[in-house]
Structure formats: C-alpha cells, structure tokens
Amino acid sequence: MAESEFALVRDYLEAAGNKPVSARGLLFHDNELFSMYVDMAVLQRDEVKLRQYAPLAEETAVRDGHFLHQASAHRAWGVLHRLQGEYTAAEARLNQALELFQTLDTRWQIGRTLYELAELAHAEADPVEARDYFSRALTAFAEIGAVPDMTRTKAVLDSLD
C-alpha cells in the first residue's frame, strides 16, 4: 500500500474514533480501534504513532482479555523497540507476540511477526538468523496464499543473496 493510501486509512480511522457515541454505541470497541491504529503504525514504521498507540492498544486489549490484540500490541512494541535500537526489548516483545499468535493459530499474524523478527535479525547484522526468519515467514504466508506478503518477503530474501 502506498504512503498516501495508509494516510487515507489512518485519517478515516481517526475520524471514526473521534465521533461521539450515539444511543446505539460505537460500531467497534476502543480496543479494536487502538489495535487498528497500532497495526497501521507498524506497517508504516511510524515511531510517533507507535509511541502514541502501543500503550493504548496494550492497555485496552489486556483490560478486555483480547489475546489477538494483546499479541498485536506486543508486535507493535517490538517494532518500536527495534526502530529505537533497543534490540533485546524488541526480541522479547516480538517473541511474546509470536507465542500468542501461535497459540491462536493465526497464520498470517505468525508470518507478519516472523517477518519482524527477520527485520530485527537484519538490524543486528545476523544474516543467518534473518534468512531463517524470512524463510519461515515466507512459508507461513504461502500456507494461506498471502500473495502480497509472499512477494515482499521473497524480494527481501532474494536481496540477501
């Protein structure tokens, strides 16, 4: 998705989140909204939005006992820590996310988290581990036919040669 498309989605989400609650209530809960915000921030590698939404996403997911959103919040924190050069904290959070996603058997989310672990290994200048994580992510994406993610991951793997 191009930057302008991300910005448009983010704008729509933020506008929806700012609407007053009607007698019928919101169409979705705040934990869902914060999970969407933080997921967009992860995809954009937006440190400002990650700092803003990761705590809210985690807080509301824990409050509501929503394990999928808790895992997404862990991944968001992991990406933020990686972007800030805090590799030990990034690895811990990404592994927490991966464990939850594996428990939930959410293969696309598993693939996305393996991809983030590969990015972390790449940032730490560990090409063997990066290649392993990228390969595992590619396998996870292939299992469910996630073609755009497969294409992106394969391109990164090919660039490592």
In a domain, 112, yes or no: yes
How far is Cα 130 from Cα 66, in angstroms, rounded to an integer?
Answer: 30
> Which helix H or strand E contains 73, and what residues bound it?
helix 67-83
Residue with tokens 């967009």: 40
In a domain, 123, yes or no: yes
Q: What is the mean pLDDT of residues 134-158?
A: 97
pLDDT band at 32 (very low <50, low <70, confident <90, very high): confident
pTM of the model: 0.84
Range of the domain at 2: 1-15+27-105
What are the distances in angstroms from CA 47 to CA 53, 100, 159? 10, 23, 25
Which of 105, 129, 150 represents a domain boundary (last residue)? 105
- Residue-wise pLDDT tens digits, 124-141: 999 999 999 999 999 999
In a shared domain, residues 111 and 94: no
Q: How many domains does the chain have?
A: 2
In a shared domain, residues 98 and 150: no
Tell me, what's the pLDDT at 6? 45
pLDDT band at 29 (very low <50, low <70, confident <90, very high): low
pLDDT band at 35 (very low <50, low <70, confident <90, very high): very high
CA-wise closest residue to 39 among 137, 123, 116: 116
Among the ranges given (28-42, 59-73, 137-151), the one the predictor scored with the smallest mean pLDDT = 28-42
